[in-house]
Structure 1
Amino acid sequence: MGRPNRLHFDGEATADRQAIRTGDTNKYIPKMKMFSHAIIVLLALGAAALAFGFVLFAVSVTRDDAADLDKADGIVVLTGGDNRIEAGAKLMSEGRAKRMLISGVNRKVSREEMQRIVRIDNKVFNCCVDLGYEALDTVGNADETRTWANTNGYTKLIVVTSRYHMPRSLAELALVMPGVTLLPYAVTPKRFPETAWWLHVATTKVLLSEYLKFLPAVARLTAQRVIDWRDGQSVAIMPQKRADG
């Protein structure tokens, strides 16, 4: 009787092991496909939600929804855009608040130069207009405004900035000043289309950039309110009054 062919048995064992491995893999293929499909669906839904949110954001900041504006303790003008300082000066001239802070002033601009820009009564400017030189961005504006409001004991502020910048500004201000009422006064920049914004590439880029900055700001605000809820938090409402450029 001849000896078994070892090579033959080794070949069969190898084939069996490959079959087992192949069988195990085939068993998990449907689950892997389902997982991949779920990831794709979630990514698609996330992209759709971002796109839909952007459209809502763009429509809200280009919409004319002017309304009456209540008086407040102070006015805060966030520099960085057309007509913001002029709008704040107009509100001060109307007696809408006791004092005005211009936040984020360029350090090269003197108080005398700013007085010429503001164009309000010298007596009002000298007594009731404060210049903030520390803020370099919107987060800095919020910190500078908080210090100013706390120093003066203010709990109700009119916020003046561009329409597209208003949602993020309100979120950043509310984040550092819970309990302070914020009244938005939105300014429309020059050459900023109020209709068919999607037909203007430059405008769409500005809106998209601001929207992507707004999302983390509102996320931080929401997280703070969920984790560390405090009474009397300010509500970032949409602009009530606007000024045309």
Structure 2
Amino acid sequence: MIGRILAFAALLWALGFVWFGVALPSPAGDERTAAIVVPTGSGGRIERGIALLRQGASPQMLVTGVDPDVRPAEFMAEYRVEPALMDCCITLGFSALDTRGNAREAAEWVAAREVASLRLVTADWHMRRAAIELGERLPKGVTVLRDGVPTRPSFVTLFREYHKFLAAWFLAII
């Protein structure tokens, strides 16, 4: 009996891992939101957020988890952001060190600005866990549009992230 239970659990784990790796979240459409939130990390995230900001998908953006040594001028030079866009629309958040910290920093920023909807821009492999962590901390009623940045994650990246996702999901349901 124990062997069957373990075999069933292993099958569920394997099917879940296949789903996790094959059905990665994709980019969102052109829906407008009140804000864009971009956790730092793998390439393409910040560039996608800035492009969406320039396209008018949102009037403001938070980049959370920025290294404390980065200065706004360095950020502007790195991502070719004009001063007017930086001044009006981009907030750099320096307090987060990980995904949970990104969620906390973003939730505080969202609450302070009374944001009703946001677009979460992060790597496709990171989206599910980031959305769970953020959803656990956001004020009630805030709508989150998931915008996955396409990547080519390695098996190791998917394996690690799947287990982090399972832990975040489990903690969210208990």
What is the TM-score when the length of structure 2 is the normalising length?
A: 0.94
Cα distance, 1:213–1:149 mapped onto 2, change above 3 Å? same
| Aligned counterpart for 1:134 among listed residues 95, 101, 113 | 95
Q: Is the 8 A contact 2:35 2:117 kept in 1?
A: yes
Deviation at 1:69, TM superposition (A): 3.0
Shift of residue 72, structure 1, vs aligned partner = 0.5
Aligned length, in residue pairs? 173
Residues 55 and 155 of structure 1: is their aligned pair in 2 closer, same or farther, counting only changes over 3 Å? same
> In structure 1, what is the Cα distance between the partners aligned to 2:159 and 2:2?
25
Q: 2:54 matched to which residue of 1?
A: 93
CA-CA distance at 1:66 after TM superposition:
5.0
Q: CA deviation at 1:117?
A: 2.1
1-side partners of 2:141 and 2:39: how far apart?
20
Matched, 1:219 2:170: yes
Specify the code of the residue in structure 1 equivalent to 2:135.
A
1:139-192 superposed Cα distances (whole Å, 9 cap, x missing partner) = 000000000000100020011110000000111111111421111111123xx2
Residue equivalent to 1:106: 67
Contact 1:69 1:183 survives alignment (8 Å): no
Structure 2 residue aligned with 1:210, among 158, 161, 173?
161
Q: CA 1:159–1:67 in structure 2 vs 1: closer, same or farther (change >3 Å)?
A: closer
Q: Check the 8 A contact 2:65/2:98 in 1, yes or no.
A: yes
Distance in 2 (CA, whole Å) between partners of 1:120 and 1:46 is 49
Alpha-carbon distance, 1:122 to partner: 1.8
Q: Secondary structure at the match of 1:107?
A: coil
User: If you compute each CA radius of gyration, which structure gives the higher value, 1 or 2?
Assistant: 1
Measure how far apart 1:116 and its partner are. Answer: 1.2
SS at the partner of 1:183? strand
TM alignment of 1:1-245, pairs within 5 A: 38-61=1-24, 65-66=26-27, 68-177=29-138, 178-189=140-151, 192=152, 203-223=154-174
Q: Offset at 1:220?
A: 2.2
SS at match of 2:161: helix
What is the letter of the counterpart of residue 130 of structure 2?
A: S
Q: How many angstroms does 1:67 deviate by?
A: 5.2
Distance in 1 (alpha carbons) for counterparts of 2:21 and 2:167: 17
CA change 1:67–1:139 in 2 (3 A) is closer
Equivalent position of 1:22 in the other structure: none
In structure 2, what is the Cα distance between the partners aligned to 1:92 and 1:67?
14
One-letter code of the match for 1:175? E
Percent identical: 36
Measured in 2, the distance between the counterparts of 1:220 and 1:97 equals 31
Q: TM-score, normalised by structure 1?
A: 0.68
Distance 1:111 1:121 in 2: 11
Per chain length, whose mean CA-contact separation is higher, i.e. which structure has more relative contact order (CA < 8 Å, sep 6+)? 2
Could you tell me whether the CA contact under 8 Å between 2:66 and 2:94 is conserved in 1? yes
Give the Cα separation in 2 of the matches to 1:96 and 1:136. Answer: 27
